[in-house]
Structure 1
């Protein structure tokens, strides 16, 4: 042990450096004024593929973002190596405010929200008319999620060569939802592609649906240069499809000005996160009639003012029935 005597000189004393560094810590973050805007195409195990100008760049989320998520459709600020060359990695340092957020939960008892897509303005609900059989409860749940997120719904019915669409359409015509009916032959020949594209032009459209309904087949027809996504078959025993899309992916609409966002096939669409009071916003003909409803009215109570609103001729009774069916969906499981 070194000894300095009774009166050590300051030159004799060794000052240990600060192991944590001599610079004081600061909470001030760099402004990153050189950041460029990117559009998130897909997210895979922490690696985010973004479109920057006309090239794809692989990036990771910067530490300063904390637990803030980055999802497909996000507009982000990126710094670092933006060349897009192999083995390069940039950093996402900010996520711009989202215009819309499509969420779902695993089931109605699950409080954990999963953000599916950000900044979409249209939700294409793809349903097969047969093989597998249509599930109206699933359609209703997707509609509620679309209305809650502020997205315009589009009903896409596939495999019309196997079954008629009329019975299902009779259920949804009162809602005024735009719809398309396609067959497998029309998709394979390209005859239906132009019709579908007209509804997608100038939109950011997220596609949702059960496995095996032809969702990815439709996306492949719209974006033929990205047909690396394989299509699946329907299990003959369970009547359910096999998952072929495993991650959310944004693709530029071929021959148009828009984006198609393909999502994995889902077996359920939980609505734990949805505030039922927001569903009425999708019914502008009924919404004024709620002014006289009692506080906390669920719009299916005896005191609900909408019954009088409809009786006085302000709206079609079928529209009120449709609203109440969608509201009931929030409290009823898909298999009921």
Structure 2
């Protein structure tokens, strides 16, 4: 059997490269990107309001250079591409602005993986009923911790006050100096509407507490608007996703409904994250020993906050209310 030995370069197969241009880490700056606010997220598509104007909706996808950068409702983003908002058109999200606040949670208290729920909300309105179902301080306390840690101003909204006296439950939170609003099923939530005007506010609450009733009272066509944003591009809007809905009126504002957030894992939060939200306590807490949980004796016998009470610079009931919230971390 003869073996061929006259082989030249034409007989050698050269595998072509993936490209003729060298790979570069430089990325386009997109200086001409148009600012927008994310209002809905649905399976790889984002509905955005150009310039924060709800009358200029655009559907977008995430640009490849952003990788797995999380983009959630409330994010301020930069868009390029087709900004017409016409059916079957897509813009590209090329930039996510720094967040002023972040509402975060974990699956449970043992999982330290943070999940971003809402970005750039100014207020977290915790909705709970005073009856049917019975109110629970545990859920409210956890929501307050998440708000303090994320930089949101907490608001407590008590619903169904026509069924029971709200005062006993409201008393738990009076010394934290947070707004406590009361609503009835037979009255318009005018006080809440005034607090939401001109701001971006996220609403959280257990099923059955009347949060949907509040949203419908604030936004009579809320269900219609939710249906409108459901056609984000690849599927339907699900009830477990956050949705930002614009308020009407001269002061406008946004309400972010978060029906999927029923509990908050707090593995990502430390006691100091909560204390830092209180201007009158943050400075004094620097004198606490390392690792202080600020719960007082016997767990933290040298907590500096007790010295404030002894000196008459801090109301005892305010410290008690704060420590009850801190217990949610334990």
Q: TM-score, normalised by structure 1?
A: 0.85
- Corresponding residue of 1:260: 255
* TM-fit CA distance, 1:306: 1.7
- Corresponding residue of 2:199: 203
- Corresponding residue of 1:226: 222
Segment drifting more, 283-292 vs 257-266: 283-292
Segment drifting more, 21-30 vs 92-101: 21-30
Within 2, Cα distance between the matches of 1:270 and 1:92?
Answer: 30
Alpha-carbon contact 1:122-1:204 (below 8 Å) kept: yes
Aligned length: 308
Q: Secondary structure of the equivalent of 2:173?
A: helix
Alpha-carbon contact 1:210-1:267 (below 8 Å) kept: yes
Alpha-carbon contact 2:103-2:146 (below 8 Å) kept: yes
- Corresponding residue of 1:24: 22
- Corresponding residue of 1:116: 117
Within 1, Cα distance between the matches of 2:308 and 2:19?
Answer: 71
RMSD, aligned α-carbons:
2.3
* TM-fit CA distance, 1:14: 9.5
**What CA deviation, in whole Å up to 9, does each residue of 1:121-156 have, x standing for no partner?**
111000011111111110011111111111111111
* Unaligned stretches of 5+ residues in structure 2: 228-237
Within 2, Cα distance between the matches of 1:13 and 1:304?
Answer: 81
- Corresponding residue of 2:322: 323
* TM-fit CA distance, 1:23: 2.2
Matches within 5 A, 1:285-324: 285-299=280-294, 300=296, 301-324=300-323
- Corresponding residue of 2:210: 214
Residues 40, 266 of structure 1: alpha-carbon distance in 2 compared, 3 angstrom cutoff: closer
Q: Among 22, 25, 31, which residue is 1:33 paired with?
A: 31
State whether structure 2 residue 162 is matched by structure 1 residue 165: no
**What CA deviation, in whole Å up to 9, does each residue of 1:38-73 have, x standing for no partner?**
110010011100011441111111111011111000
Within 2, Cα distance between the matches of 1:160 and 1:265?
Answer: 25
Q: Secondary structure of the equivalent of 1:40?
A: strand
Q: Secondary structure of the equivalent of 2:158?
A: strand
Within 2, Cα distance between the matches of 1:110 and 1:291?
Answer: 28
**What CA deviation, in whole Å up to 9, does each residue of 1:190-223 have, x standing for no partner?**
x32x321110112110001111111122112212
* TM-fit CA distance, 1:265: 4.6
